[in-house]
Chains A and B, each alone.
Chain A
Amino acid sequence: MQRPWWQRVLLSVWVRPVLLVLVLLVLWDLTIRLFRIPPYLIPSPWSVVAQLQAEWPRLLKESIPTTYATLGGFVLSIAFGIPMALVIAYSRTVESFVYPLLVFSQSVPKIAIAPLFVVWFGFGIIPKVIAAFMLGFFPVVVSTVMGFKSVDPDMLDLARSMKAGRLETFMRISLPQALPSIFAGLKVSITLAVVGAVVGEFVGSNSGIGYLLQIANGNFDLPLMFAALTVLSGIGVLLFVAIDVVERLMIPWHASQRHDLAATP
């Protein structure tokens, strides 16, 4: 049975979050009116939208360096995180040496050491990339380790009994079975990398969304601040969706990717 067109539009995956955002905006506006919250504490949603429109070219320009730093940190997270996770997953000795230290390092507040990155690496893009890397690295390692450790041992036995080589076992059984978990880690990683890049920009930068946030803060320009935060979250969402697309292409067989088929009436 076909639903009427407006129901299909309302229920489509792309419209649902937009609807929720609209509801939240209205709630935001109502709260401000109801409790008479002054604009120097929380700006009204419409002043943020107006500022988004007015400052759009500048916001777009400043979002480019932030995106670069985020992607740089993310690529480093993959380049270091996945090989390290592999070694940890396959060697108990390495795991016992490295893993506790890794957890320890993760608990160091990055914001506290970020000023040192500028001292060590100067004022260019590198300290921002490193800050993004420091935040994005850990989830990649943890979920990759988990992915490889939860490979079905029966499958490995089967491969061994059929005389599959180590590489073949890895490529055909371990890696595919670990991929869903790895992608889960990558998704967490990219959103944290955005935060890391902005932390880096707060500490020392002539450009980027973090720089714009500082200026807005100095001028009590809360609408501009919220507009910059909106753009920042937008960057995070776009990068997240990009990984989601790659995930669909690489593991179309996994249960998490099959919902589209199952949900079709």
Chain B
Amino acid sequence: MMKRLAFLAAALYALSSAPALAQGKDKVVLLLNWYVYSEHAPFFLGKARGYYDQEGIDLDIQEGRGSGVTVQAVAAGTANFGYADVPTMMKAASKGAPVIAVGVALQTSPMSVMGYADHNIRKPEDIKGKTVAVTPGDSMSQIWPLFLKKTGLKDSDFKTVAGDAQTKLNAVINNQADLLLGYVMDQAIKLQDATHKQVYPIRFADYGVNMVSSGIIVQKDFLKQKPDLVKRFMRATTKSLEEAAKNPEAAVDAMLAANPKSGVKDTALVGMKNTAALYKGPDNPKDLPLRVGEKNMNETLALLVEYGGLDKSSAGKATDYYTNDYLP
């Protein structure tokens, strides 16, 4: 039945893309992990400069509502490509979702605990006695205990308040909390945009927490049926990421031109630079973006099993979750 549905979907897809086919282009939907912000700028650069066009791809970038939803949408075939948190995808895949990462963009974790720079919280010890805002169940709150273990902190050393993504920001903005768990290129920028105060993130990665983050994911069947399209898409994406890292300003301009509400130029530029700094992991074969090292993925999987609520019995091997075969 699923197969028949898939066929029906494919037929509909073919019908809907008929005009595009006339121009010889594949219509592709990329579903992002969240509303557009600096991390996504490279895709807009690639679209604006025609990197996707050159590969015969008519790219439609859609905003997401969290990595979990993006993974489910890709697994169900609603979107062709997803830009989502790879550990989140691994959790879904271990529960049977037929998805795989065909490139890992952020190979160093952007996770951090951050507060205002003038509050002088710069080392893990400074967190003692402070209040930390977290979102229960999200990837950062799950890895947080590992950061505490690596830095010798205890739960009782600080106070915790919990709320959704917006509440976390509000809590720090309104001084209900001193710190929040967030991404260096996301929440740090949002805090600065809202308050015009400098934010200092303490990166988990600097204290021995090695875990990959956002990447490109596809459905396994889609990969089997259209390997060539995936290869072309990944070629264009690699070029987009490389160029964005070289010209962060052009990338941010392209993003703001397509989505004027997605940020403020100055801070988005900082966000884009912070994002590009995460393109390299501890082991990065060939030194190309999106090509993730096996050691990095093994470590990520091990952390997920130990802290991230991924069942050991269904974990499998790291290579079940990613492939570098479709990268240039």
Residues of B within 8 A of A41 (CB): 72, 75-76
Let me know if A122 and B68 touch, CB within 8 A. no
Residues of the B chain whose Cβ atoms lie less than 8 Å from the Cβ of A214: 135-137, 164
Contact pick for B91, options A116, A206, A220, CB 8 Å = A220
CB of B267 within 8 Å of the partner chain: no
Contact of B162 among A204, A216, A220 (CB under 8 A): A204
CA distance A218 to B160 in the complex (A): 18
B171 and A40 within 8 A (CB): no
In the bound complex, CA of A41 to CA of B99 (Å): 13
- Chain B residues with Cβ under 8 A from A38's Cβ? 75, 96-98
Q: Is A240 an interface residue (CB 8 A)?
A: no
In which size bucket is the chain A interface? 20 to 34
Q: Which residue of A lies closest to B142 (CB)?
A: A218
Q: How far is the CB of B37 from chain A (nearest CB, A)?
A: 18
User: Does chain B have a CB within 8 A of A262?
Assistant: no
Number of A-B residue pairs at CB separation under 8 A = 86
Q: Which residue of A lies closest to B174 (CB)?
A: A119
Interface membership of A39, Cβ < 8 A? yes
> Do A211 and B171 form a contact, CB below 8 Å, given A39-B95, A204-B163, A220-B91?
no
Kindly provide the distance from the CB of B301 to the nearest chain A CB, expressed in whole angstroms: 16
Collect the chain B residues with CB atoms within 8 Å of residue A203's CB: 163-164, 166-167
Say yes or no for A162: interface residue by CB 8 A criterion.
no
Partner of A204, one of B97, B137, B139, B161: B161
Contacts of A205 in B (CB 8 A): 162-163
Chain A 163-177, CB-CB to B under 8 Å as 1, else 0, gives 000000000000000
Mark interface residues in B121-163 (1 if CB within 8 Å of A CB, else 0). 0000000000000011111011000000000000000001111
> Are B142 and A119 touching (Cβ within 8 A)?
no
Q: Which residue of B lies closest to A221 (CB)?
A: B309
- B159-203 toward A: CB 8 Å interface, digit per residue (1/0)? 011111011001100101000000000000000000000000000
Contact status of A40 and B75, CB under 8 A, knowing A204-B164, A206-B160: yes
Q: Measured between alpha carbons, how far is A204 from B95 in the docked complex, in Å?
A: 28
User: CB-nearest residue of chain B relative to A120?
Assistant: B174
| Residue among A36, A116, A202, A215 with most chain B CB within 10 A | A215
Q: Beta-carbon contacts of A32-56 to B below 8 Å, as 1s and 0s?
A: 0011101111000000000000000
- A36, B174: Cα distance in complex, Å: 48
Q: Does A150 contact B (CB under 8 A)?
A: no
Q: Is B22 an interface residue (CB 8 A)?
A: no
Query: Is A99 an interface residue when CB atoms closer than 8 A count as contact?
Result: no
Cα distance A191–B69 when bound, in Å?
28
Question: Which one of A34, A118, A206, A211 has the highest number of Cβ atoms from chain B below 10 Å of its Cβ?
Answer: A118
Instruction: Decide if B92 is an interface residue (CB 8 Å cutoff).
Output: yes
Give A121 Cβ to nearest chain B Cβ, in Å.
10
Pair A35/B2 contact, Cβ less than 8 Å: yes
Q: Are A123 and B137 CB-contacts (below 8 A) given A36-B2, A40-B95, A206-B161?
A: no
Q: Is A217 an interface residue (CB 8 A)?
A: yes
Q: Note all chain B residues with C-beta closer than 8 A to A65.
A: none
Inter-chain CA distance A39–B98, complex, in Å, is: 11
Q: Are B162 and A211 in contact (CB under 8 A)?
A: yes
User: By the criterion CB–CB under 8 Å, are B92 and A115 in contact?
Assistant: no
Task: Specify which of A119, A202, A216 lies most central, judged by the most chain B CB atoms within 10 Å of its CB.
Answer: A119
Contacts of A34 in B (CB 8 A): 1
- For B136, list chain A residues within 8 Å (CB): 206, 211, 214-215, 218
Cβ proximity bits B69-104 to A, threshold 8 Å, 1 near / 0 not? 000100110000000000000011001111000000
Contacts of A215 in B (CB 8 A): 136-137
Beyond the given pairs A115-B163, A203-B166, 9 more chain A to chain B contacts, judged by CB atoms under 8 angstroms and listed by A's residue number, are A40-B96, A118-B176, A204-B167, A205-B163, A211-B136, A215-B137, A218-B136, A220-B68, A220-B95
3 closest residue pairs by CB, A with B: A218-B137, A204-B163, A215-B137
